[in-house]
């Protein structure tokens, strides 16, 4: 009887499983490794669910990104990816703050090379034919590389956008979601949802003007590709607005509340994976810290160099700590490095942050590390550089998860005292533990939620009913200017009629009064 029930259940579930399982096309950003790592985790989770995942990359990046879980499609990029990596190195690889003007100039150069990279991809007719013949069920893209939206529309495949923050800020226009500047801080400003008057003014002006500039930059580059491959009436914004699903790496615990649409799913902490044991030598080093514990230091995969002056400042501060220090560092070994500090070119960040002996995390406030620290309840010392990092650091401070320092001006003594304060002050540890419990207390993990929604798109062939129609409306309809004009006209007509009626009555009364006087 048990065998019979198992067999019948398997036969009953088999059609459903085959209907849900699909072919997934993943188009990662050609550069910025942290973006690739996030998409890699999502793709691996889909593979575990029985889906077939294919990543589309340039031929010269295949050796760096090849993984046995995925299939790969490649194309010749004629050196555009190498140029993108060069621009990335010029903008981000040095541990220096990026000015607003420098950011706009960098985005202009990136958009130009991304457009060329995309044109080579879409222009590879043999590749496009292979992709069409494969009949993919869904495509996973990101807004930093707008080519994904154009390719998804070209292949007529549902588009799922995987995003933390849009470098060109076109996602707000594409989703149609309002962002009230009174309480929603722009993701490029280090503000909270409780802003002063000057901050609100700055938030309103920059979120409007700079967003228009960045959207204009990317649209000027990709509108031509959209019209060439999809039709003369198509533009990048209209193509991106047809995305079926937006997987936002936002967290309700850390990020501030803001308006959202039904197809915008929050999956903050998506990158946090299952903890595995440390290597023997690293575990021995961590255990040697005793009751004092360990401080983990990492400034991410993008920052590959820092000046010797800054490295010496940090090394001297770490040398004074009673704790052991594990530092992800690839430069020349600082002369003031203490015996308590272990340098590593790469470190298992998630596993170290999960270790019970970890006392603090010193970071640039990149989202991957920040979400891991939040998940494992580790206080932070943030020293942000560029992008969304200052905003992330502001959220850390606002939630009481840690403190913020200026990387370019911090002194050895200031850094040492700040780390010591964060470790010795129980409020940071208690707040981190409380926020960790709050973050974990959800019916699905972020990865389970993301996978469920991707499978929901696959099962139903798209989710157009969840898309807001805001983008399709002319600007005068979106802002209800036609309605305002109609109401103004009606009110004017009513008031005008009332005024004319009053004048008429007054004149009639005056005329009767005048006639009566004449008769007397």
CATH at residue 173 = 3.40.50.2000
Estimate the crossing angle of helix 100-122 against helix 147-155, to 10 degrees.
Answer: 30
Largest CA distance in the chain: 121
Note whether residue 9 is domain-resident: no
Spell 17-40 as b/e; 16+ CB within 10 A means b. eeeebbbbbbbbbbbbbbbbebbb
223 in the same domain as 76: yes
- Residue 404 and residue 177: Cα distance in Å, rounded? 31
pLDDT of res. 507:
82
Backbone φ, ψ for residue 102 (5° rounding): -65, -35
Residue 10, pLDDT score: 40
| CA-based R_g, the chain, Å | 29
For residues 425 and 442, what is the distance between their CA atoms, to the nearest angstrom? 29
Regarding whether 315 and 265 lie in a shared domain, the answer is no
Helix (H, G, I), strand (E, B) or coil at 25: strand
Name the domain count of the chain.
3
How far is it, in rounded angstroms, from Cα 344 to Cα 427?
Answer: 30
Question: Are both 232 and 306 inside the same structural domain?
Answer: no
Query: Which range marks the domain in which residue 373 is found?
Result: 280-440
Q: Which helix (H) or strand (E) holds 205?
A: helix 197-230
Intervals of the chain under pLDDT 70: 1-20, 92-102, 301-304, 512-520
- Is the CB of residue 208 less than 8 Å from the CB of residue 410? no
Q: Does residue 432 share a domain with residue 499?
A: no
340 with 361, same domain: the answer is yes
| Same domain assignment for residues 239 and 101 | yes
Work out the angle at residue 302's Cα, subtended by the Cα atoms of residues 300 and 305, and round it to the nearest 5 degrees: 95
- Rounded to whole angstroms, the Cα distance separating 57 from 66 reads 9
Give, as one character, the DSSP assignment of residue 278.
P
pLDDT of res. 163: 92
Tell me if 415 is assigned to some domain. yes
In terms of domains, do 199 and 137 share one?
A: yes
pLDDT of residue 514: 64
Q: What's residue 518's pLDDT?
A: 61
Angle at 395 between CA 393 and CA 397, to 5 degrees: 70
CA distances from 200 to 3, 99, 151, 210, 397 (A): 67, 20, 38, 15, 19
Tokens for 509, please give them. 């009364």
**143 and 127 belong to one structural domain:** yes
Residue 376: predicted pLDDT: 97
Q: Give me the phi and psi of 418, to 5 degrees please.
A: -70, -45
Q: 322 with 386: CB under 8 angstroms? A: no
Query: Do both 450 and 383 map to the same domain?
Result: no
Phi, psi of 177 (to 5 degrees): -90, 130
C-alpha distances (whole Å) from 244 to each of 77, 139, 160, 267 are: 28, 10, 6, 16
Residues 141 and 288 in one domain: no
Question: Which residues are registered as beta bridge partners of 342?
Answer: 326
Q: Residues 286, 420: one domain?
A: yes
Q: Are 435 and 399 in contact (CB under 8 A)?
A: yes
Contacts by residues 353-357 (CB-CB < 8 Å, ≥ 24 positions apart): 353/296, 353/378, 354/275, 355/278, 355/286, 355/294, 357/286, 357/287, 357/289, 357/293, 357/294
Whether 25 and 80 share a structural domain:
yes
pTM: 0.87
**Do 61 and 11 contact (CB within 8 A), yes or no?**
no
């Amino acid at each position: 009887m048990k065998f019979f029930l198992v067999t019948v259940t398997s036969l009953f579930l088999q059609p459903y499983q085959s209907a849900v399982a699909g072919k997934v096309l993943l188009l990662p950003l050609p550069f910025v490794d942290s973006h690739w790592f996030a998409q890699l985790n999502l793709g691996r989770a889909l593979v575990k669910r029985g889906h077939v995942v294919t990543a589309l990359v340039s031929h010269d990046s295949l050796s760096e990104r090849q993984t046995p879980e995925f299939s790969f499609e490649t194309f010749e990029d004629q050196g555009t990816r190498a140029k993108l990596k060069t621009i990335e190195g010029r903008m981000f690889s040095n541990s220096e703050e990026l000015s607003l003007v420098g950011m706009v100039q960098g985005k202009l150069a990136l958009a130009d090379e991304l457009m060329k990279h995309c044109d080579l991809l879409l222009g590879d007719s043999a590749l496009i034919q292979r992709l069409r013949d494969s009949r993919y069920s869904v495509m996973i893209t990101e807004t930093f590389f707008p080519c994904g939206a154009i390719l998804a529309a070209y292949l007529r495949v549902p588009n799922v956008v995987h995003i933390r923050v849009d470098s060109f800020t076109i996602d707000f226009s594409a989703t149609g979601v309002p962002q009230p500047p009174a309480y929603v801080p722009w993701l490029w400003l280090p503000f909270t949802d409780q802003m002063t008057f000057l901050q609100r003014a700055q938030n309103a002006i920059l979120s409007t003007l700079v967003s228009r500039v960045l959207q204009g930059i990317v649209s000027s580059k990709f509108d031509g590709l959209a019209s060439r491959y999809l039709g003369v009436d198509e533009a990048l914004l209209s193509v991106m607005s047809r995305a079926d699903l937006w997987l936002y790496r936002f967290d309700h615990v850390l990020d501030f509340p803001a308006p959202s649409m039904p197809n915008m799913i929050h999956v903050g902490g998506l990158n946090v994976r299952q903890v595995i044991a440390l290597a023997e030598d690293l575990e021995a080093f961590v255990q040697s810290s005793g009751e004092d514990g360990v401080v983990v230091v990492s400034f991410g995969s993008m920052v590959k160099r820092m000046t010797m002056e800054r490295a010496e400042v940090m090394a001297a501060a770490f040398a004074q700590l009673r704790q052991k220090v594990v530092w992800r560092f690839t430069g020349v070994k600082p002369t003031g490095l203490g015996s308590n500090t272990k340098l590593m070119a790469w470190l298992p960040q998630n596993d170290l942050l999960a270790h019970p002996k970890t006392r603090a995390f010193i970071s640039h406030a990149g989202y991957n590390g920040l979400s891991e620290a939040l998940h494992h309840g580790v206080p932070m010392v943030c020293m942000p550089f560029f992008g969304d990092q200052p905003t992330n650091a502001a959220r850390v401070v606002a939630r009481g998860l840690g403190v913020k320092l200026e990387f370019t001006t911090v002194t050895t003594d200031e850094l040492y005292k700040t780390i010591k304060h964060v470790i010795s002050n129980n409020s940071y540890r208690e707040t981190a533990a409380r926020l960790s419990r709050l973050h974990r207390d959800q019916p699905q993990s972020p990865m389970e939620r993301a996978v469920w929604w991707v499978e929901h798109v696959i099962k139903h062939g798209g989710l157009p009913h969840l898309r807001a129609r805001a983008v399709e409306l002319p600007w005068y309809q979106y802002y209800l200017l036609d309605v305002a004009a109609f109401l103004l006209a009606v009110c004017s007509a009513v008031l005008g009629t009332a005024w004319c009626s009053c004048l008429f009555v007054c004149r009639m009364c005056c005329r009767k009064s005048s006639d009566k006087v004449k008769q007397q």
